[in-house]
Amino acid sequence: MKLTTLLLTQNNCYKSGKKHTVKGIMVHSTGANNPKLSRYVGPDDGILGTNPYNNHWNQPTPGGRSICVHAFIGKDKNGEVRTYQTLPWDMVGWHSGSGSLGSSKNANNNGYIGFEICEDGLTDRAYFDKVYQEAVELCAHLCKLYGLKPEKPVLIAHCEGHQLGIASNHGDVMHWFPKHGKNMDTFRAAVKALLATGSTTPSPTVPAPTPTATTGEEKIWKFFKDKGLNDFAIAGLMGNLYAESGLRSNNLQNTYEKSLGMTDEQYTKAVDAGTYANFVNDSAGYGLAQWTYWSRKEALLKFTKEAKASIGDLDTQLVYLWKELQGYANTIKVLKSATSVRQASDVVLLEYERPADQSEAVKVKRAQYGQGYYDKYASKPVAPQPTPGQLYYVQTGAYSVKANADAQYQKVKAKGFDAIIKQSGNLYRVQVGAYSVKANAEAQAAKLRTAGFETYITTTGGTQVTAGAAPAPVLKSIDVIAKEVIAGKWGNGEARKQKLTAAGYNYATVQQRVNQLLK
């Protein structure tokens, strides 16, 4: 498996930041003929290729939908099949379809890692074989990681999730796999077989854009915060420092570790002890910002010596960096008024760090690193905490007669709510959504009440049952209706037509009778 990480940090799902304990995997396929990863994953990292419509899922609500998955399998810009991880595995995804059983409203997403296989025209056997194998390897990797058994209902397809009552009514992936002689049972067996071989570890193709925590990370954030920079500026600055040094203040440029025959620690010690005298002129990048040019290295050395600190000391380098930055008037000006991570990141990249490669891909990557820090450290309003395992169902009616539940269901649906019917004991409950945060359930209940429904919140769910059709309306005779029309009770023109049709009458028949009566 070729696994790359590009977290969809702009997606509302990612931003909601809800964690879950992984208990299963749900396999999806996209349902659209577009095998390119760039359709869903972005921005371009140099591997994905560009998306001319910029309609990938790294935005709050892709296509207006509250939707997000943990990974995609599809083609990169060169047509090679890869896996992109797009959410942390332990974060709740929004992937079980639309409606009350899907998206952000669905508590059933909890615990399931969901990934999408990008569909093509469904007939290309070579493409299918590659994505099937990639999906098998991804699932084996995740099973190993979370101790999951590749069995039902732990490892399931979306359509099986629907059968189990935990996902919306979608056919994926069983509208595709059988075309090539596969199904979910062969899939689970393949995952099991791969697990048995013990070789499930993927080899990442590029370093994960989200920086891993270092001990200095929080200290660096706080340092710049104390200097009065805003969160965008700090994140943009830190993303660049991460790209340069991994935020390690004793980091010696890797190529020089080889040519000088010294590790980071040995080089730092030798400079401190004065046994290595070529620090200023060796052109080796060093420290947080990977200072390279002789005059900047000379100033850094002088500064740390005066401070009686090690050349690799983080605190001293931070003070030096801040002092040095004051000489970059425009950079400081932009940082102080930054309104996005990207803006701050770009100015640091182009004016302060000035690496050889200043391409769009490098700008994107550094801003992504910065975004990782922003998401981690920027001050955010504290969200209400859900009670673990507790769900609040918004209910508008419970009936012992199924037909009555069906009638209520249709009324609620007609007002635009995503209703479902759940059976528990001898009651059919008409419910609109399940929420782990009670305040969210209360908000939904208020909406229903505004729409004229008696509503309350219960912690009793049940098993979902199929809703019946709306009961047939009791129709009046054509003569009675025609007289009502003449009396003006049904309005005129198009409005009349719509009203009559909605009430179950044949407009043409009624109108014919009206014309006869008026002759």
- Judged by the rule CB under 5 A, the positions of this chain that interact with Zn ion are 28, 158, 170, 172
Q: What distance in Å separates the CA atoms of residue 443 and residue 94, rounded to the nearest whole number?
A: 20
Q: What distance in Å separates the CA atoms of residue 455 and residue 449, rounded to the nearest whole number?
A: 6
Of the two residues 36 and 158, which places its CB atom closer to Zn ion in the complex? 158
Minimum gap (Å) between residue 375 Cβ and Zn ion: 26
Residue 499 identity (one-letter amino acid): K
Of the two residues 137 and 172, which places its CB atom closer to Zn ion in the complex? 172
Minimum gap (Å) between residue 128 Cβ and Zn ion: 17
Residue 257 tokens read as 């570790």
Rg (CA), the chain: 30
Minimum gap (Å) between residue 11 Cβ and Zn ion: 17
Of the two residues 28 and 130, which places its CB atom closer to Zn ion in the complex? 28
Of the two residues 110 and 240, which places its CB atom closer to Zn ion in the complex? 110
Of the two residues 172 and 346, which places its CB atom closer to Zn ion in the complex? 172
Of the two residues 119 and 172, which places its CB atom closer to Zn ion in the complex? 172
Helix (H) or strand (E) holding 488: none
Minimum gap (Å) between residue 133 Cβ and Zn ion: 20
In the chain, count H helices and then E strands.
18, 12
Q: How many CB atoms lie within 10 A of CB 361?
A: 14
Is the CB of residue 391 less than 8 Å from the CB of residue 438? Answer: no
Minimum gap (Å) between residue 56 Cβ and Zn ion: 18
3-state secondary structure 446-472: HHHHHCCCCCEEECCCCEEECCCCCCC
Backbone angles phi, psi at 464, to 5 degrees: -70, 135
Of the two residues 120 and 172, which places its CB atom closer to Zn ion in the complex? 172
Residue 361 tokens read as 């891909």
Q: What distance in Å separates the CA atoms of residue 290 and residue 252, rounded to the nearest whole number?
A: 8
Minimum gap (Å) between residue 68 Cβ and Zn ion: 12
Q: Where are the beta strands (DSSP E) in 203-269?
A: 203-204
Which value, to the nearest 10 degrees, does the dihedral of the CA atoms of residues 164, 165, 171, 175 take?
10
Residue 428 tokens read as 């059919």
Of the two residues 168 and 371, which places its CB atom closer to Zn ion in the complex? 168
Of the two residues 141 and 170, which places its CB atom closer to Zn ion in the complex? 170
Q: What distance in Å separates the CA atoms of residue 346 and residue 257, rounded to the nearest whole number?
A: 29
Minimum gap (Å) between residue 97 Cβ and Zn ion: 6
Minimum gap (Å) between residue 325 Cβ and Zn ion: 48
Residue 72 pairs in a beta bridge with: 84, 116
Minimum gap (Å) between residue 81 Cβ and Zn ion: 19
